[in-house]
C-alpha cells in the first residue's frame, strides 16, 4: 500500500512537471515574431528516433499527446536558451533525455549560465612558489570547472586575481619577481580569450584599487575603474578621482571626484564593489555607498540602510543590491537588506540570522570569524567562509537551511571570487 502511494506521488509530480513544461512551451511558441519560425522548425524532419516518437504521438488521442516529444534537440536548446536559468534547471526533471540534453557540454555553452564556483588563492612559504591559485566548484565536488593556472595568458612571472564580473576576470600580471611592475589583463576563462590593457597614469610603485565593470546584457565591451587616492595631512587616504579604461576606445580617461566632498572608499580583500545598472558601487566608512557611471559623468550617493549598524559589505542578487550589517546591540546577529527601489534608495530588511544558527551554536563575529563572500545571482542563497579550515558553506534564507560545502584549507586566502561562466560572448577588446 505504501509503495502504491509513493508511486502515485511520483506519477503526479511527473505529470505536474510535464504540464508546466507544456505550458511554458506554448507561451514561448506564442511569442510575437517567433511563432512562424518555431512552426517551421517543428515541420523539419527529426532523427529516426524522433520520427518514431512523433509518429507514436500522432497515434495518441489529443489529450495524451506530449507536444515536447515532437521537438528536435536543436529546437529544444533554442527554446531553453531564451529562458531564465531557474527554468532550465527545473526542466532537467522533465525526462532523462532532457537531462542529458541540458548536461551536454556543447549545449551548455548555448544555455544561460549561473554561479559555478569560486576562485581563490593559498599561501604556503614552504612551497617553491608560495602562492597558488585554486578554483572550487559551487557543489564542492568533482574536477574544477576551470583550470586556475591561466596558462593561456602571455608569459609573466605571477598572476594575481583582482576581480570578477559576469564571466570576465581582472588580473594583475607581474613582469618580474624583482620589481613591482605589472600590467592589467582581462580574460574570459571559459573561452581563454584575453586582452592586455595599456598602462594607466600611475607611478611604477603605486598600488591603486582596481575594479572590473562588465554587463553583457548592456554591451560586449568592458570597463575597468581605478580609484585615484592620496593621503591628507592626517594620513587619511581620500579619493580624488577615478581613472576609467574602456575596451571600446582602448583608452584611459581621468575624472575628478564628483561627489562634492571628501570620500574614503573601504575596499579591502573582503570588501568588493558591485557593478549594477551601469554604476560601480563602493562602500565608505561614512555610512553611505558611493556610485559612479562608466563615463565619469554621473555621481551619486546611496544612504546606508541602518546608520547605527556596522555595515560594509555589499553584493548583488536577482538584479538588486543587497547589504549585510551587524546589529550593534547584538554583534552575533546578521541582517540582510535588499535595495528594493534603486531610484528612491528604498531598503527593505529581507532576513536576520544569528551566527549561532549558522555555525552550530558558536558565537562567531562577522569579519573576524567568518566572511560573506557571495550571494547567488538567481536565488536567496548566501555563501560564507569560516573557521580555521576556511570552510565554504551556504545558507538558504527561505528555508533557513545551512549546508557545509567543503574545506578550502587554512592556507586559503581572500579574495574568494564568485564565477559565472560566459560562453556566448566574445571578449571585445577595442584593439
Q: pLDDT, tens digit, for every residue of 109-148?
A: 676 678 999 999 999 988 888 889 999 999 999 999 899 9
* Cα 369–Cα 372–Cα 375 angle in degrees, nearest 5: 160
pLDDT confidence of residue 353 = 96
pLDDT confidence bin for 347, thresholds 50/70/90? very high
Q: Of 84, 101, 141, which Cα lies nearest the Cα of 117?
A: 141
The better pLDDT of the pair 272, 362 is held by 362
pLDDT confidence of residue 334 = 93
pLDDT confidence of residue 284 = 85
The better pLDDT of the pair 385, 14 is held by 385
pLDDT confidence bin for 50, thresholds 50/70/90? very low
pLDDT confidence bin for 424, thresholds 50/70/90? low
pLDDT confidence bin for 189, thresholds 50/70/90? very high
CB under 8 Å to 145, separation ≥6 — which residues? Answer: 116, 117, 135, 137, 421
Compute CA distances 38 → 25, 79, 219, 236, 379, whole Å.
11, 9, 28, 62, 31
The answer to whether 239 touches 227, Cβ cutoff 8 Å, is: yes
The answer to whether 209 touches 229, Cβ cutoff 8 Å, is: yes
Q: Model confidence over 141-175: pLDDT tens digits?
A: 999 989 999 988 887 888 999 999 999 999 999 88
pLDDT confidence bin for 43, thresholds 50/70/90? very low
Question: Edge-to-edge strands of the sheet including 346-354?
Answer: 310-317, 320-327, 330-341, 346-354
pLDDT confidence of residue 270 = 57
The yes-or-no verdict on residue 58 having pLDDT over 80 is no
The yes-or-no verdict on residue 200 having pLDDT over 70 is yes
The answer to whether 229 touches 240, Cβ cutoff 8 Å, is: yes
Task: Calculate mean pLDDT across residues 224-248.
Answer: 86
Q: Which three cell numbers stand for residue 207?
A: 598600488
Quick one: 188 exposed, middle or buried, by C-beta within 10 A (0-12, 13-18, 19+)? buried
pLDDT confidence of residue 278 = 95
Question: What's the pTM?
Answer: 0.77
Please provide the average confidence, as pLDDT, over all residues in the chain.
80
Amino acid at each position: 500500500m505504501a509503495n502504491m502511494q509513493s508511486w502515485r506521488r511520483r506519477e503526479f509530480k511527473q505529470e505536474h512537471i510535464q504540464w508546466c513544461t507544456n505550458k511554458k512551451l506554448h507561451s514561448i511558441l506564442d511569442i510575437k515574431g517567433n511563432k512562424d519560425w518555431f512552426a517551421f522548425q517543428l515541420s523539419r524532419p527529426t532523427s529516426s528516433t524522433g520520427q518514431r516518437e512523433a509518429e507514436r504521438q500522432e497515434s495518441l488521442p489529443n489529450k495524451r499527446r506530449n507536444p515536447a516529444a515532437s521537438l528536435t534537440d536543436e529546437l529544444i536548446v533554442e527554446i531553453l536558451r531564451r529562458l531564465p536559468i531557474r527554468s532550465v534547471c527545473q526542466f532537467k526533471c522533465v525526462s532523462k533525455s532532457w537531462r542529458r540534453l541540458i548536461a551536454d557540454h556543447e549545449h551548455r555553452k548555448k544555455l544561460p549560465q549561473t554561479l559555478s564556483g569560486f576562485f581563490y588563492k593559498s599561501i604556503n612559504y614552504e612551497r617553491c612558489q608560495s602562492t597558488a591559485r585554486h578554483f572550487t566548484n559551487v557543489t564542492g565536488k568533482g574536477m574544477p570547472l576551470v583550470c586556475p593556472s591561466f596558462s593561456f595568458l602571455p608569459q609573466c612571472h605571477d598572476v594575481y586575481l583582482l576581480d570578477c564580473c559576469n564571466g570576465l576576470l581582472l588580473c594583475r600580471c607581474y613582469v618580474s619577481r624583482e620589481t613591482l611592475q605589472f600590467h592589467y589583463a582581462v580574460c574570459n576563462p571559459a573561452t581563454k580569450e584575453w586582452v592586455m590593457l595599456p598602462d594607466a597614469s600611475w607611478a611604477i610603485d603605486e598600488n591603486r584599487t582596481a575594479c572590473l565593470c562588465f554587463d553583457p546584457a548592456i554591451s560586449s565591451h568592458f570597463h575597468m575603474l581605478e580609484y585615484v587616492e592620496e593621503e591628507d595631512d592626517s594620513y587619511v587616504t581620500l579619493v580624488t578621482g577615478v581613472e576609467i579604461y574602456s575596451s571600446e576606445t582602448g583608452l584611459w580617461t581621468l575624472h575628478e571626484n564628483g561627489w562634492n566632498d571628501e570620500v574614503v572608499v573601504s575596499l579591502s580583500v573582503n570588501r568588493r564593489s558591485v557593478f549594477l545598472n551601469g554604476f560601480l558601487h563602493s562602500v565608505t566608512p561614512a555610512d553611505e555607498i558611493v556610485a559612479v557611471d562608466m563615463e565619469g559623468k554621473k555621481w551619486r550617493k546611496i544612504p546606508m540602510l541602518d546608520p547605527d549598524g556596522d555595515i560594509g559589505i555589499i553584493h548583488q542578487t536577482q538584479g538588486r543590491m543587497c547589504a549585510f550589517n551587524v546589529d550593534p546591540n547584538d554583534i552575533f546577529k546578521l541582517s540582510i537588506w535588499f535595495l528594493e527601489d534603486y531610484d528612491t534608495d528604498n531598503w527593505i530588511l529581507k532576513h536576520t540570522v544569528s551566527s549561532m544558527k549558522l555555525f552550530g551554536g558558536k558565537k562567531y563575529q562577522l569579519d573576524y570569524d567568518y566572511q560573506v563572500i557571495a550571494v547567488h545571482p538567481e536565488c536567496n542563497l548566501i555563501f560564507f567562509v569560516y573557521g580555521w579550515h576556511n570552510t565554504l558553506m551556504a545558507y538558504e534564507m527561505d528555508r533557513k537551511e545551512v549546508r557545509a560545502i567543503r574545506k578550502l584549507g587554512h592556507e586559503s586566502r581572500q579574495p574568494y571570487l564568485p564565477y559565472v561562466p560566459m560562453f556566448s560572448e566574445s571578449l571585445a577588446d577595442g584593439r
